[in-house]
C-alpha cells in the first residue's frame, strides 16, 4: 500500500488552466487567485502549467522556477472561445442566470462560438498529448476546458484526467434544453475524477451525467477550495493597528460612522445592484439619532468587452448615483465606489477598517473574498454578511447568512450586523477563523491530488 501511494504521488502533474499565470511579456509569474493557490503545491511536486499565452514560446519554458507550456491559438479564435462560448453562454447558464446568456443576432455566430470552444479545447489536448509523460495526472481547471477529458482519452489513454470546476454546476433542468449539453457533459464525463465546490454542485453534476451520459463513470465529489492563509496573516498582523484603521477610514471619508464593504468583480452574478437597493432601504428606514452608515464598494473591471458586463456596470452606477442623491449631504456620501483592483496589502487594510463585510452574490462557486476577510480579522472583530448562494455558506456557518434575492433579508441582515454586540461578534468571528485557518488551499490541493492519483 505504501509503495502504491508513493508511486501515485510520483506521477507528473500537469495543471491546465485557461491562461498561463505570467505577465504579458512572460518575464514574471502573476500572483493571486489560482496562482497563489497552486504555486506552492506546484513547487512541491514539480508540476507543469499548461495554458494559453499570446505569442508564447514554442517550447516548454521556466519562469521563477515554474515550468510552463504555452498553448497556441489565434486571438480571434481565443476571443470566440473565451468571450463568446465560455463567458456569454456557459458562465450565465452555470450560475443559473440564463437571462444573461447572449443570443447572438446571427445564428451562425453562436455556432462559431461553440466551434471555437471545441477548437481551443482541441489545441489544449494536442499540446498536452505532446508534452505529458507516461501516466501523468492532468488536472484541468474550470469551465473553459470541459471537453478535454474525452479528447485526452482518445489521444492519450495512459493519462489520468481530473477536473476541478471552480464555478457552480446548474440544476440539470436548466441544462438539458441546451443543444450543446449532451456533448459537453459526456465529454466531461470521460474524466476519472470531477471535483466541485459544493455538495449541491456534485449532486447536479451527478444527475446531469445520469441523464445525458449514463455510460460514464467519473468519481464526482465536492472539494471546497480555500485560500493561502499565511501571507494574509502576516500582512494583517502588520496592518492591524488603530492608527492604520483610522488613516484608511479618513482616506475614504468614513469617520465616526459605521462602514459596510463590498469587494467584487463587476459581474451580474455578484448581486451588487440588489445590495445597493437593500442598503437604500436600510437608509430609508433608519431610526434614531445614530449616524448613517457608509457602503464602500470596490468594483474591479472584468470581461469589459461583453455587452452584459457593460450594461451591468452602467446599472450599478445609476443605482449608486440615485442613493447618493437621495440620502447624501455635504458631509455624507452613502456609497463610496472605488474603481479598480486592490493589491493584497491594500485589501487587508480595508478589511480591517470594516464593520460589516457584505458578500452577497446571487450565485458564486465559492467566493474567496469571504474567506480572505475572515483570515485578515486577527482582531476577532467584524461581521460577515454572507449569501446562502455562495459556496462559502456551506462552511462559514457562523456568518450572518441571507438569501441574496430577498431585499427584506438583506436589509435586515445589514441592520442586525450593525447592531450586533461585541460579544456575539467575537464568538462568531472566532468560530469562522477556526474553520478558515484549519482548511487552507494547501489542504484542498493535497486532498484533490490524493483523490485523483
Ligand atoms: C472566476 C472563474 C475563474 C476566473 C475568474 C476571473 O473565479 O472561476 O476561472 O479566472 O472568475 O475571471 P477572468 O475571466 O477574468 O479570468
User: For the residues of 273-339, what is the DSSP string, one character each?
Assistant: HHHHHHHHHHHHT--SSSPPPEEEEEEE--STTSHHHHHHHHHHHHHHHHHHHHH-BTTB-SEEEEE
- The ligand 1 atom at the shortest distance from the C-alpha of residue 142 is 9
Q: Is any atom of ligand 1 closer than 6 Å to the C-beta of 188?
A: no
259 contacts 355 by C-beta, under 8 angstroms: yes
Ligand 1 center–CA 167 separation, angstroms: 9
- Give me the pLDDT at residue 40, please: 67
Q: Which atom of ligand 1 is nearest to the CA of 365?
A: 8
Indicate the top mutation candidate among 82, 142, 270 to test ligand 1's pocket, ranked by most ligand atoms within 8 A of CB.
142
Residues 59-69: b if buried by 16+ CB within 10 A, e if exposed:
eebebeebbbb
Cα gap 29→66, rounded to integer Å:
8
For residues 7 and 443, the answer to whether their CB atoms sit within 8 Å is no
166 ligand 1 Cβ < 6 A: yes
Give the mean pLDDT per block of 10 residues along the chain (453 residues).
Answer: 46 92 86 68 80 93 92 95 97 97 84 96 98 96 98 98 98 96 98 98 98 97 95 95 94 96 98 98 95 97 96 98 98 96 93 98 97 98 98 98 98 98 98 98 91 93
CB of 167 closer than 6 A to ligand 1?
yes
What distance in Å separates the CA atoms of residue 24 and residue 395, rounded to the nearest whole number? 36
pLDDT at residue 402, rounded to an integer: 98
Q: How far apart are CA 384 and CA 370, in angstroms?
A: 7
Residues in the chain: 453
CA of 332 to the centre of ligand 1 (A): 35
341 lines ligand 1 (CB under 6 A): no
Query: What's the pLDDT tens digit per position in 323-358?
Result: 999 999 999 999 999 999 888 999 999 999 999 999
Q: Is 122 in the pocket of ligand 1 (CB under 6 A)?
A: no
Residue pLDDT, tens place only, 57-90: 999 999 988 899 999 999 999 999 999 999 999 9
d(CA 365, CA 143): 11
Rounded CA-CA distance 299/132 in Å is 40
pTM exceeding 0.90: yes
142 lines ligand 1 (CB under 6 A): yes
Determine how β-strand 61-63 pairs with β-strand 66-71. Answer: antiparallel
Q: Are 333 and 293 in contact (CB under 8 A)?
A: no
What is the model's pLDDT at position 34? Answer: 67
- Count H helices and E strands in the chain, helices first: 18, 14
The CB of 302 under 6 Å from ligand 1? The reply is yes
Amino acid at each position: 500500500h505504501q509503495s502504491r501511494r508513493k508511486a501515485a504521488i510520483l506521477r507528473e502533474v500537469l495543471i491546465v488552466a485557461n491562461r498561463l499565470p505570467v505577465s504579458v511579456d512572460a518575464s514574471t509569474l502573476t500572483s493571486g487567485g489560482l496562482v497563489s493557490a497552486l504555486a506552492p503545491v506546484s513547487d512541491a511536486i514539480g508540476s507543469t502549467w499548461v495554458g494559453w499565452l499570446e505569442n508564447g514560446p514554442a517550447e516548454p519554458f521556466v519562469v521563477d522556477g515554474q515550468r510552463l507550456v504555452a498553448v497556441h491559438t489565434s486571438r480571434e479564435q481565443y476571443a470566440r472561445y473565451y468571450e463568446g462560448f465560455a463567458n456569454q453562454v456557459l458562465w450565465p447558464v452555470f450560475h443559473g442566470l440564463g437571462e444573461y446568456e447572449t443570443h447572438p443576432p446571427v445564428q451562425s455566430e453562436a455556432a462559431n462560438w461553440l466551434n471555437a470552444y471545441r477548437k481551443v479545447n482541441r489545441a489544449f489536448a494536442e499540446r498536452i498529448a505532446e508534452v505529458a509523460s507516461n501516466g501523468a495526472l492532468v488536472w484541468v481547471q474550470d469551465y473553459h476546458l470541459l471537453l478535454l477529458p474525452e479528447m485526452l482519452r482518445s489521444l492519450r489513454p495512459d493519462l489520468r484526467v481530473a477536473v476541478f470546476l471552480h464555478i457552480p454546476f446548474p440544476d440539470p433542468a436548466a441544462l438539458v434544453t441546451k443543444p450543446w449539453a449532451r456533448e459537453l457533459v459526456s465529454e466531461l464525463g470521460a474524466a476519472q475524477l470531477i471535483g466541485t465546490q459544493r455538495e449541491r454542485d456534485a449532486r447536479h453534476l451527478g444527475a446531469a451525467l445520469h441523464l445525458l451520459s449514463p455510460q460514464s463513470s467519473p468519481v464526482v465529489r465536492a472539494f471546497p477550495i480555500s485560500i493561502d492563509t499565511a501571507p494574509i496573516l502576516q500582512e494583517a498582523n502588520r496592518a492591524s493597528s488603530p492608527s492604520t484603521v483610522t488613516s484608511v477610514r479618513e482616506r475614504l471619508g468614513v469617520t465616526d460612522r459605521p462602514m459596510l464593504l463590498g469587494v467584487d468583480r463587476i459581474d451580474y452574478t455578484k448581486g451588487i445592484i440588489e445590495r445597493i437597493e437593500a442598503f437604500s432601504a436600510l437608509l430609508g428606514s433608519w431610526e434614531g439619532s445614530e449616524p448613517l452608515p457608509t457602503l464602500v464598494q470596490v468594483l474591479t473591471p472584468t470581461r469589459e468587452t461583453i455587452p452584459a458586463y457593460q450594461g451591468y456596470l452602467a446599472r450599478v452606477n445609476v443605482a449608486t448615483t440615485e442613493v447618493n442623491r437621495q440620502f447624501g449631504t455635504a458631509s455624507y456620501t452613502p456609497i463610496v465606489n472605488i474603481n479598480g483592483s486592490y493589491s493584497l496589502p491594500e485589501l487587508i487594510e480595508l478589511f480591517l477598517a470594516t464593520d460589516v463585510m457584505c458578500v452577497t452574490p446571487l450565485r458564486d462557486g465559492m467566493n474567496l473574498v469571504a474567506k480572505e476577510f475572515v483570515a485578515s480579522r486577527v482582531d476577532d472583530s467584524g461581521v460577515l454578511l454572507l449569501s446562502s448562494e455562495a459556496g462559502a455558506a456551506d462552511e462559514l456557518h457562523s456568518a450572518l447568512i441571507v438569501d441574496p434575492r430577498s431585499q427584506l433579508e438583506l436589509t435586515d441582515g445589514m441592520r442586525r450586523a450593525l447592531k450586533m454586540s461585541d460579544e456575539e461578534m467575537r464568538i462568531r468571528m472566532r468560530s469562522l477563523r477556526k474553520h478558515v485557518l484549519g482548511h487552507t488551499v494547501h489542504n484542498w490541493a493535497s486532498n484533490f491530488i490524493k483523490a485523483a492519483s
